[in-house]
Amino acid sequence: MITIETIGQVAEHYDIAVVGAGPAGLAAAARAAELGLSVLLADENPAPGGQIYRAITTTPVTPRAVLGEDYWKGGALAERLKPTTTAYAPGCTVWSVAPDEAGGVELGLSLAGQARLISAGQVILATGAQERPFPIPGWTLPGVMTAGAAQIALKASGLVPSGRTVIAGCGPLLYLLAGQLAAAGANIVAVLDTTPRRNWLTAIAALPDFLRSPYLAKGLKLMAAARGKLPFKTGVTALAAEGSGTLTGVMVTRGGATETIPCDALLLHQGVIPGINLANAAGCAQHFDTVQHCWTPTVDDWFASSIPGIAIAGDGAGIGGAESAALRGEIAALDAARRLGRISEAQRNEKAAPTQAELARSLRGRRFLDLLYRPAPQFLAPPADETIVCRCEEVTAGQIRDTARRLGVTGPNQMKAFLRCGMGPCQGRLCGPTVVEVIAQERGVSAEETGYYRLRPPVKPVTLAELAALPPTDAAVKAVVR
Amino acid sequence: MSEGRRSADVIVIGGGIHGCSTALHCAMRGLSVILIEKDHAGRHASGVNAGGVRQLARHVAEIPLSNTSMALWHRIEDLVDDDCGFTSDGQVLVAEDEEDLGNCRARVDDLTLRGFHHEELIDAAELRRLVPAVSDACPGGVVSRRDGAAIPLRATQAFKRKAQSLGADIREGVRVTRVARDGGNWRVETDQGAFLAPRIVNAAGAWADRIAADLAEPVPLEVIAPMLMITARMPAFIKPVVILRKRKLSFKQFENGTVLIGGGYLGRAIRDENRTVLDWGKLATNAKTVWDLFPIMRGAPILRAWAGIEARMPDDLPVFGKSAKHEGVYHQFGFSAHGFQLGPGAGAVMAEIIATGSSNVPIDGLGIARFATETESAVHSAH
Ligand SMILES: Cc1cc2nc3c(=O)[nH]c(=O)nc-3n(C[C@H](O)[C@H](O)[C@H](O)COP(=O)(O)OP(=O)(O)OC[C@H]3O[C@@H](n4cnc5c(N)ncnc54)[C@H](O)[C@@H]3O)c2cc1C
């Protein structure tokens, strides 16, 4: 592995560029390099691991029990890269991916304030998942953050929220995180579970598969352990953060009764969804996954997207968890090598067969979790008009409903022209799913029919100065490299 | 699709600003209208353009249409019940050197002779007053004070909604596959059945050549993908829209502080997939021009860049007016990256031509006949 420190060290062309150094990206890069391909692995974080194994090589949290045994598995993935020739670029933002005229893919990169355009024969997007937005009244108050943000602070810097902490929402990660934070010494005064009770009715049919699933059943144990130790409250149907200027408590509705729990930190989590911004901006086709209830890039059995040269591996192409992400990365790398003509189709199939079998096994039981933890409609589309949906442009649920009704706005792209939601720096990452849901509910149609934002590069902001300093021609690009 | 009507006085093909404006003005004249749009109104050039409402630096053949439009822009809320985000802080063409300024002077003199007075030569002092942030090296320029900008998708949808409220039947998500003569009518076939009307308007933007070809009036239309970039909010520093002549630039700060950077650099259009691919090398050149002219912009984060799919004609002028071959066919396309401002006026003029046979607004030089091939025009004149 060669660690890239300046933009000038990035080569002009790679056989494969992998975006994201989580389990999917690490596995894809390692496998591709082991096949003898030249590989760039670019990731905006300072160290490998992605979200799940964040800071695996650098975390200050040393007692293994705090983050759980599964976390430490990430170490092996990072180790596997070391003996290969992979060019690993930490702190490197990929802000654009697009097919080029030569039949390859062009990537826009920024590293330490300098931008560069390079090309690759194949690109594997392994940008992973993001937390599903969970807007409630008051969620923009200081003291409220997402559970994922709290987990990042814990893994990367060993920080736990100070004071009385409440965790609220739904999904397996909620329990995992509650357990991790408690083990790290956080004062958790309540875990508020919003899982709708009736979800059990639909999920139960998928329970047998879940129980046979080797990885997920273990999660169930974790969950049970956390529930035994922590102050759980289930059946939560409404939440509101309270406080003026800063968070003072959370108002909770359960079984028709409302109470306020005083707290200093509120961590929100409503499951994870694929991070689709880069794939969407590259023009990859996407569809609405009705089981996972989220927009998902459309990929084939080898994780190739609709755009030639671009594959999407790991949670970015549908939530499957860390184990499956790494397996999907392997498979995508094998197919990329086949597309580049470096291995035959037969070789690909043969090499992929065991991984595919393992993948099928790792995904068994997924459906149960998806159905059980499907968020309740009132958390997908906040009923309270004053709830802010788009944080960048401060657009409320009420404004979106009103615009959909009065101006007959039928989709999120049209909504932009009136309210600018989705046009701020996050380009809809934080509001997109909610805006779709609010419009869909208001119009009485499905999220699928409502559609999603057409996103635009740069997917992460790049400065005018960086852009102005881009080497403009091929010759100039070459001059910079030499 | 709801069944509804299948025939009308006029069928408009294309729901851009032009199609919607023509539909509205036809409806205002009491004609029954069906508008057919394959995606949604404003999905293409009309919804994603720079929103520049500019009379400045137009080709003389377009000026009458542009003047008609400008009058409508200044009372846009009365027309469509929505202000369309229209603001009028003028547009300024900045001369980067003395030679450039000389060209500006010649242009303004020429317009004066032709009786047009909307463009005004300005010296360095007035330029600095209007655009304090511009580089000191610039010796002057031209201003068109009634110019401005609007919000494109919002404007297009306002035209659509108003047309609808006056009875126009707007069919979105319906694709025209073929047009053909059917007795006294035109038969407009779509993926959702056929529609009939004695008069049809081809306002299909970057796809209009296909309709024209069906009508045996082929045109050398080029599909282009002009690119734009927008920055994060910046402190307010400029009011008018700024354009250049020698280098490509169009530059505008909105009231919310974001800055739009364009000027006509082209990406790649994949029109059959409604998709564009950006050319970052050219956007870098665009960024460099801003770097030179507006030092204040150097650290600005670029939040989004995009391109729209637009039709360009070889002479950079629209195709506007009656068909050269057929009774009841009207063309309104090929706006060559400057048709947004023309939308309101072009719709009014087109509806007048459809309803009365002619208009007082001169549109000489814009007819489709200018693209008839030599053999074709020979056949034509022999008839
Ligand atoms: C990036 C960019 C910046 C620009 N900046 C400016 C500016 O600042 N000022 C200015 O004045 N102009 C500007 N323009 C130009 C302006 O946007 C266009 O000239 C104008 O919008 C053209 O309008 P239109 O209605 O002809 O085309 P469109 O808006 O493209 O509408 C045509 C419609 O026809 C539909 N259609 C096509 N074929 C069919 C079919 N078979 N069946 C049904 N429907 C069909 C399409 O889906 C489309 O919606 C810019 C353009 C771009 C792309």
Q: Which atom of ligand 1 is nearest to the CA of B36?
A: 43
Give the pLDDT of residue A221.
Answer: 73
At B174, phi and psi to the nearest 5?
-125, 125
pLDDT in tens, A260-309: 999 999 999 999 999 999 999 999 999 999 999 999 999 999 999 999 99
Check if B91 has its Cβ closer than 6 Å to any atom of ligand 1.
Answer: no
Give the pLDDT of residue B327.
Answer: 97
Check if A117 contacts B (Cβ < 8 Å): yes
pTM, whole model, 2 decimals? 0.92
Give every CB contact of residue A426 below 8 A, 6+ residues apart in sequence.
Answer: A391, A392
Residues 273-302 of B with CB under 8 A from A: 273, 275, 277-278, 280-281, 283-285, 287-288, 290-291, 297-302
Per the CB < 8 Å rule, is A468 touching B287?
yes
Check if B339 has its Cβ closer than 6 Å to any atom of ligand 1.
Answer: yes
Per the CB < 8 Å rule, is B300 touching A427?
no
Q: How confident is the model at residue A54 (pLDDT cuts 50, 70, 90)?
A: low
d(CA B90, CA B293): 19
Give the pLDDT of residue A426.
Answer: 87
pLDDT in tens, A343-396: 999 999 999 999 999 999 888 888 888 999 999 999 999 999 999 999 999 999
pLDDT in tens, B113-152: 999 999 999 999 999 999 998 888 999 999 999 999 999 9
Angle at B286 between CA B204 and CA B339, to 5 degrees: 25
Query: A101 C-alpha to center of ligand 1: Å?
Result: 25
pLDDT in tens, B40-81: 999 999 999 999 999 999 999 999 999 999 999 999 999 999
Closest residue of chain B to A467, computed from CA coordinates: B284
Query: B14 C-alpha to center of ligand 1: Å?
Result: 9
Q: How confident is the model at residue B2 (pLDDT cuts 50, 70, 90)?
A: very low
pLDDT in tens, B295-308: 899 999 999 999 99
pLDDT exceeding 90 applies to what percent of chain B?
A: 92
pLDDT in tens, A150-172: 888 887 778 888 899 999 999 88
Q: Give chain B positions within 8 Å (CB) of A416.
A: 153
Min Cα distance A271 → chain B (Å) is: 27
Q: Tell me what ipTM this predicted complex has.
A: 0.90
Q: How confident is the model at residue B374 (pLDDT cuts 50, 70, 90)?
A: low
Check if B20 contacts A (Cβ < 8 Å): no
Angle at A467 between CA A466 and CA A468, to 5 degrees: 95
How many other CB atoms are found less than 10 A from the CB of residue A12?
14
- Token pair in block for residue B293: 């002219």
d(CA A419, CA A393): 8
How many other CB atoms are found less than 10 A from the CB of residue A205?
11
Min Cα distance A470 → chain B (Å) is: 6
Q: Which atom of ligand 1 is nearest to the CA of B190?
A: 42
Q: Which of B338, B341, B342, B366 to mutate to test the pocket of ligand 1 (most atoms within 8 A of CB)?
A: B338
pLDDT in tens, B341-365: 999 999 999 999 999 999 999 999 9
Give every CB contact of residue A78 below 8 A, 6+ residues apart in sequence.
Answer: A26, A48, A49, A53, A56, A57
Give the pLDDT of residue A52.
Answer: 66
d(CA A397, CA A71): 37
Check if B122 contacts A (Cβ < 8 Å): no
Q: Give chain B positions within 8 Å (CB) of A427.
A: 303-304
Query: B214 C-alpha to center of ligand 1: Å?
Result: 20
Give the pLDDT of residue A101.
Answer: 84
SS3 A96: strand
At B130, phi and psi to the nearest 5?
-75, -40
Q: How confident is the model at residue A65 (pLDDT cuts 50, 70, 90)?
A: low
pLDDT in tens, B153-176: 999 999 999 999 999 999 999 999
Q: How confident is the model at residue B383 (pLDDT cuts 50, 70, 90)?
A: very low
Q: How confident is the model at residue A180 (pLDDT cuts 50, 70, 90)?
A: confident
Give the pLDDT of residue B1.
Answer: 43
Give the pLDDT of residue A223.
Answer: 72
* pLDDT tops 50 at residue A478: no
Give the pLDDT of residue A35.
Answer: 97
Q: Give chain A positions within 8 Å (CB) of B290.
A: 464, 468
Whether the Cβ atoms of residue A474 and residue B307 lie closer than 8 Å to each other? no
* pLDDT tops 70 at residue B382: no
Q: Which atom of ligand 1 is nearest to the CA of B174?
A: 43
d(CA A125, CA A135): 28
The stretch A207-223 carries a mean pLDDT of: 74
Which residue's structure tokens are 């442009």?
Answer: A393
Q: How confident is the model at residue A77 (pLDDT cuts 50, 70, 90)?
A: confident
d(CA A457, CA A99): 13
Output A222 or A101, whichever has higher pLDDT: A101
Provide the greatest CA pair distance for chain A. Answer: 70
Angle at A401 between CA B24 and CA A415, to 5 degrees: 55
Q: How confident is the model at residue A66 (pLDDT cuts 50, 70, 90)?
A: low
SS3 A401: helix
d(CA B230, CA B260): 5
* pLDDT tops 70 at residue B92: yes
d(CA B356, CA B30): 12
Per the CB < 8 Å rule, is A464 touching B305?
no
SS3 B123: strand
Measured CA to CA in angstroms, residue B102 lies from B57, B98, B136, B142, B252 at distances of 14, 6, 18, 11, 25
In terms of Cα–Cα distance, which of B84, B42, B46, B103 is closest to B245?
B103
Give the pLDDT of residue A79.
Answer: 85
